[in-house]
Amino acid sequence: MGKVLVSASHFDTLCKEAWKLLEEHGHEVIFDATRSFPSYSCEELIQILPDVDAAIIGMDVYDKRVFAHAPKLKCVCKFGVGVDNINLKDASEYGVKACNCPGQNSNAVAELTIGFIVGVLRGMIPLHKAMEKSTWPRYIGEEMEGKTVGLLGFGAIARMVAKKLSVFDVKVKAYDLYPNEKAAKELGVTMVSQDEIIETCDIISLHAPAVEANYHLFGEEAFKRMKDGAFLINAARGALVDLPALAAAIRSGKIAGAALDAFEEEPLPADSPILQCENVILTPHTGAETKQAYHKVSMVAAQNVIDTLDGKEPKFWVNK
């Protein structure tokens, strides 16, 4: 029997089957439903982890400081895909299997991305705000038809976005460090360079990981190179975008609008300049927040933990 610390939100309400699965395998689930934001600070983890065998985590940071105080910890599983908040080298050094749940929330994020694109092209947020003030503006928006959409990254989520875009009569280009030419051909996507994505697309949707090489990939210089009146969509990682630079580009009119679900600092500070911009859609890292995604992710996370604690090799072991 192992103790499993869970800091993924809604685990008690939307992930009951995963909770039951863990208990059926003899494990005790530790979940604090009273926390407004379920992730734990480093100091809190240092106090809790000495008696914990596995963890299913949200945005908590797991690195050497944490692993050094977790002698029984065998598995830390990200409730999602991106493991940038787990130091994989440190996890390996302390014999901890780091896992994730790829593909389980891809459809949820892809659907949000499509909603973002339609929303910024039609100026939905400014129009809504205007109507809250009892005004009736005639806003001239943009149609998707005939646009060129660039996908920066061509993993599972981006491929789902490309599939959904196929009904909008748009041209889709994509860049990936390791291009999947077969999938691109099947989806009618043209694989191009990163420079071509930045310089030729009307709409750029980010689907790249938050590795060091991608830090502030979209900053002042990238915005200067983008087409006048282009739109930026980021439902991936906040570190990809220099937020003050984006705000400046929107205020200048260079960028016509943006939709963002991820931010370098979360929660987003109240004084962030992006909050003063028109035609932006901002959501609190909610891309994977659907009932269906929670169920699918939680079941995979639970199985990763069960397999690890049973001495088996988990299916989605990322620091193998």
For residue 23, name the pLDDT band (cuts at 50, 70, 90): very high
State the Cα–Cα distance between residues 187 and 211, nearest whole angstrom.
27
State the Cα–Cα distance between residues 129 and 213, nearest whole angstrom.
38
Q: What is the pLDDT of residue 191?
A: 98
Strands of 28-30's sheet, edge to edge? 28-30, 3-6, 54-57, 75-78, 97-99
The reply to whether 181 belongs to the active site is: no
Q: What is the pLDDT of residue 222?
A: 98
Q: Is 272 exposed, middle or buried (0-12, 13-18, 19+ CB in 10 A)?
A: middle
10 three-class SS? coil
Q: Is 295 exposed, middle or buried (0-12, 13-18, 19+ CB in 10 A)?
A: middle
The reply to whether 237 belongs to the active site is: yes
Residue 44's contacts (CB-CB under 8 Å, 6 or more residues apart) are none
pLDDT > 90? residue 210: no
The reply to whether 266 belongs to the active site is: yes
> Which residues, listed in sequence order, are joined to residue 101 by a DSSP beta bridge?
none
Q: What is the pLDDT of residue 167?
A: 97
Between 39 and 220, residue with greater pLDDT: 220
pLDDT > 80? residue 289: yes
pLDDT > 80? residue 37: no
Instruction: State the amino acid at position 64 in one-letter form.
Output: K
201-222 average pLDDT score: 96
CA angle 131, 136, 139 (to 5 degrees): 100
For residue 239, name the pLDDT band (cuts at 50, 70, 90): very high
> Residues of the chain with pLDDT > 90: what percent?
94
For residue 38, name the pLDDT band (cuts at 50, 70, 90): confident
96-104 average pLDDT score: 97
State the Cα–Cα distance between residues 95 and 75, nearest whole angstrom.
9
238-259 average pLDDT score: 98
Which residue in the list 27, 122, 237, 289 is annotated as catalytic? 237
For residue 82, name the pLDDT band (cuts at 50, 70, 90): confident
pTM of the model: 0.88
pLDDT > 90? residue 301: yes
Q: What is the pLDDT of residue 213?
A: 95
Residue 28's contacts (CB-CB under 8 Å, 6 or more residues apart) are 1, 2, 3, 4
One-character DSSP codes across 252-294:
HTSEEEEEES--SSSSPPTT-GGGG-SSEEE-SS-TT-SHHHH
User: Across all residues in the chain, what is the average pLDDT?
Assistant: 97
Which residue in the list 122, 159, 285, 289 is annotated as catalytic? 285
Q: What is the pLDDT of residue 308?
A: 98
pLDDT > 90? residue 81: no
Q: What is the pLDDT of residue 1?
A: 86
Instruction: State the amino acid at position 262 in one-letter form.
Output: A
Which residue in the list 17, 265, 266, 278 is annotated as catalytic? 266
